[in-house]
Chains A and B, each alone.
Chain A
Amino acid sequence: MQNKVESNSQLQERAGYFPVSGAHLYTVLHEVIDPVARVLLVGPFASERHNSYLPWVRWARDLAGKNIEVLRYDYRGIGESTGAFEQMTFEDWSQDVRLLSTWFQSRAPHVPLVLHGLGLGAVLAGRAFDEGVGKGLLLWSPPANANQALRATLMRWVGLEQIFKFGDDRRSASDYIRELEQGSPLEVDGYLWSVKLWHDSFHFTLPAALANEEVAAQAYKKRPVRIVKLTRDAAPLTKGGIVGFDDLKDFSWLFSPNREWIVEVASQSSKEIAHA
């Protein structure tokens, strides 16, 4: 049944489970024959995944349509991946990036690998890149550390919570943060944030060399870095937006220049390999 119904573009989307320690990562490979580049998409955190899912998938399809092979996945303990979210650490999620990068790169080592991260995914991708993974790095709205990403998620959730509350029943984000800092885990949009996760988030930082593109250019020399701060127009990839409306709008204004940058990185990398 499967092969009959898939159109050409869909035939190359292969969903699967990737084994990691104690869990399976849900992955979707947007397979391309003879790709010019490979991009590992490291998506946003927890509930942000759901809000930004459609533009994220469309971005993967946009890239695949231009001969760029893409691998996207769900963090351990989130979405279609298995594992208990509350037991996960930033180190587990870092390991996911490393394992998937290794597997993805091994498909054809001569094709340049670009890492692309959004929100917390930008911190994860940035750290992997800093360790030497990938020929290029694309960051969308990277926070300085994981705590900033958690706060952004918390703010969005508190905003929704407050819709149902009046006057004194309304609790602010700082009320919830105080609870976490006093040692109580907090459930945010169905995900139980452990106190450890919150504390660790302050120290899980974007490498200093990724503070801006100029510093990155000096630090990583021939491994280009592009940093894009998304504006409100990019909602729900960034804070805000209405589910079922903003996630369905046209994102070509965002996709096109970033895709072109990836193609340029791949082209430069291929020239260097040929020259060498």
Chain B
Amino acid sequence: MHEAIGKRELIVLDGLGECLRGTYHPVADSSSELPASRGGRDRLGVLFVNSLSLPRAASGDSAVHWADSIAELGYPAFRIDLPGLGDSAGEASTDLLDLVNAGAFASVASVAVRQLVDRFGLTGMVIFGHCAGSVSALYASVASPECKGLILLDTYFHLPQASRPRVRQELSDWARRSRIGRFLSNGYDRARNLRLRLRGRALPGNANTQLLACWKQVATAGLPILLLQAPGIKAQGSKPRVGEFDYIDHVMKLAGRKNRVSVEFVESADHSFANREGRLAVQSHIAAWLVSHFPLTDFSLSAKGTASFHANEGQSGSRKSQMAPADGCCALEGR
């Protein structure tokens, strides 16, 4: 058994007393005489955290692909399992979603960031999270001075339920299947839309105000943030479903004038971002964003890697937008 092979190395970190396990994707710097494991020094790293209870490879092993591609660009990448998840030690409980939404993983993620920065001689870390992982990443960015940027996929800013009542679930399914159901569903959406308009700009009752405060703190401070959104349930393009509060519009307003937030709508992706087209689109967006915000001066593969990602971009079906569906509920409903 080996702990390291060509492009991957298994790592262990101290997660506030729990043993955290992860995978390190070193920079493949062929021009350097340095061993692969040290080839990423004096660079910015990218850290992936779990999406809810999924292991660190993520759906369709998409995190593995993205980490490989980021390392090829010249940025060392790390994927870790947070306590109680994947291969890491600790116990996770059935109220995991509530814990994530309350920022329970912020401290441990920031401790992991510090260790990785020290151990690999990095200049800082970009934290990457998808769905519930993006909530953890956002909380961690506030707790971590080493965090230099965020990549957030399908972030939700409300407090969803872990499991919907069975009757409601079956009703939704029926509405999707039948014409009458769709008609009624559209009527329901219009009624919600009316209520939304009457409420004005007030936040919905289930908004995650703690998370929104975190967002405001880091976004107004000018932290580079890449927000990627996949089409939600009944979303019309990059617009949210009729009757749903537009959280993306709201957080962009919260971010202030000096923000460095980029919002991209990835039309070709589904919520998991695991489908190939969606995965490649995400890869292109990340490459362009990293190179633009954190340019590398001494890495020969960077330009080459970026060029190949841009070549993929044409096929990705993605388009830039300042508006995106705010249907975080779909993320959890879909599982």
Is B190 in contact with chain A by the CB < 8 A criterion?
A: no
Which one of B56, B87, B176 contacts A166 once the chains associate, using CB atoms below 8 Å? B176
Is B33 in contact with chain A by the CB < 8 A criterion?
A: no
Take A47-B60, A170-B176, A190-B275 as given contacts and tell me if A161 and B1 are in contact as well, using a CB distance cutoff of 8 Å.
Answer: no
A23 closest partner in B (C-beta): B5
Is A16 in contact with chain B by the CB < 8 A criterion?
A: yes
Which one of A7, A15, A16, A53 contacts B54 once the chains associate, using CB atoms below 8 Å? A53
Is A248 in contact with chain B by the CB < 8 A criterion?
A: yes
**B143 nearest CB across to chain A (Å):** 20
Report the bound CA distance from A162 to B55 in whole Å: 24
Take A18-B1, A243-B54 as given contacts and tell me if A164 and B233 are in contact as well, using a CB distance cutoff of 8 Å.
Answer: yes
Which one of A4, A18, A161, A191 contacts B60 once the chains associate, using CB atoms below 8 Å? A191
Q: Mark B152-183, 1 if CB is under 8 A from A, else 0.
A: 00000000001100000000110011110010
Number of A-B contacts (CB under 8 A): 152
Q: Are B89 and A7 in contact (CB under 8 A)?
A: yes
Q: Are A15 and B87 in contact (CB under 8 A)?
A: yes
Is A215 in contact with chain B by the CB < 8 A criterion?
A: no
Q: Are A248 and B93 in contact (CB under 8 A)?
A: yes
Q: Mark A8-20, 1 if CB is under 8 A from B, else 0.
A: 0110011111110
Is A260 in contact with chain B by the CB < 8 A criterion?
A: no
Residue numbers in B under 8 Å from A162 (CB-CB): 173, 176
Is A199 in contact with chain B by the CB < 8 A criterion?
A: no
**A259 nearest CB across to chain B (Å):** 19
Q: Are B271 and A5 in contact (CB under 8 A)?
A: no
Chain B interface, number of residues (Cβ within 8 angstroms): 65
Is A245 in contact with chain B by the CB < 8 A criterion?
A: yes
Which one of A16, A47, A164 contacts B271 once the chains associate, using CB atoms below 8 Å? A164
Q: Are B86 and A15 in contact (CB under 8 A)?
A: no
A3 closest partner in B (C-beta): B12
Q: Are A2 and B182 in contact (CB under 8 A)?
A: no
* Residue of B2, B15, B330 with highest tally of chain A CB at under 10 A: B2
Q: Are A249 and B59 in contact (CB under 8 A)?
A: no
Which one of B12, B58, B270 contacts A5 once the chains associate, using CB atoms below 8 Å? B12
Q: Are B86 and A57 in contact (CB under 8 A)?
A: yes
**B83 nearest CB across to chain A (Å):** 11
Chain A interface, number of residues (Cβ within 8 angstroms): 51
Is A189 in contact with chain B by the CB < 8 A criterion?
A: yes
Q: Are A242 and B162 in contact (CB under 8 A)?
A: yes
Report the bound CA distance from A242 to B5 in whole Å: 34
Take A1-B12, A191-B60 as given contacts and tell me if A165 and B276 are in contact as well, using a CB distance cutoff of 8 Å.
Answer: no
Q: Are A242 and B335 in contact (CB under 8 A)?
A: yes
Which one of A13, A187, A248 contacts B96 once the chains associate, using CB atoms below 8 Å? A248
A189 closest partner in B (C-beta): B60
Is A228 in contact with chain B by the CB < 8 A criterion?
A: no
Q: Are B54 and A13 in contact (CB under 8 A)?
A: no
Q: Which of A74-82, A116-124, A264-272 contacts B (4 or more CB under 8 A)?
A: A74-82
Q: Are A249 and B87 in contact (CB under 8 A)?
A: no
Residue numbers in A under 8 Å from B115 (CB-CB): 1
Is A24 in contact with chain B by the CB < 8 A criterion?
A: yes
Report the bound CA distance from A163 to B175 in whole Å: 10
Is A192 in contact with chain B by the CB < 8 A criterion?
A: yes
Report the bound CA distance from A5 to B176 in whole Å: 50
Q: Mark B323-335, 1 if CB is under 8 A from A, else 0.
A: 0000000101111
Residue numbers in B under 8 Å from A13 (CB-CB): 87
Report the bound CA distance from A160 to B271 in whole Å: 10
Q: Are A190 and B272 in contact (CB under 8 A)?
A: yes
Q: Are A1 and B14 in contact (CB under 8 A)?
A: yes
Is A40 in contact with chain B by the CB < 8 A criterion?
A: no
B2 closest partner in A (C-beta): A17
Q: Mark B62-104, 1 if CB is under 8 A from A, else 0.
A: 1010000000000000000000011101001110110000000
Report the bound CA distance from A78 to B97 in whole Å: 26
Is B296 in contact with chain A by the CB < 8 A criterion?
A: no
Report the bound CA distance from A167 to B163 in whole Å: 24
Is B3 in contact with chain A by the CB < 8 A criterion?
A: yes
Q: What are 21 pairs between A and B in contact, CB < 8 Å?
A: A1-B14, A1-B119, A2-B12, A5-B14, A6-B12, A17-B10, A24-B2, A27-B1, A49-B55, A50-B57, A82-B5, A82-B8, A85-B61, A161-B270, A163-B330, A164-B232, A187-B275, A189-B272, A243-B54, A244-B52, A244-B335
Given contacts A53-B55, A170-B176, 12 further A-B contacts (CB under 8 A): A15-B10, A17-B4, A17-B10, A53-B86, A79-B64, A164-B232, A165-B176, A167-B177, A170-B177, A242-B162, A243-B54, A249-B94
The 6 A-B pairs at the shortest CB distance, nearest first, are namely A190-B60, A16-B1, A190-B274, A5-B14, A244-B52, A10-B19
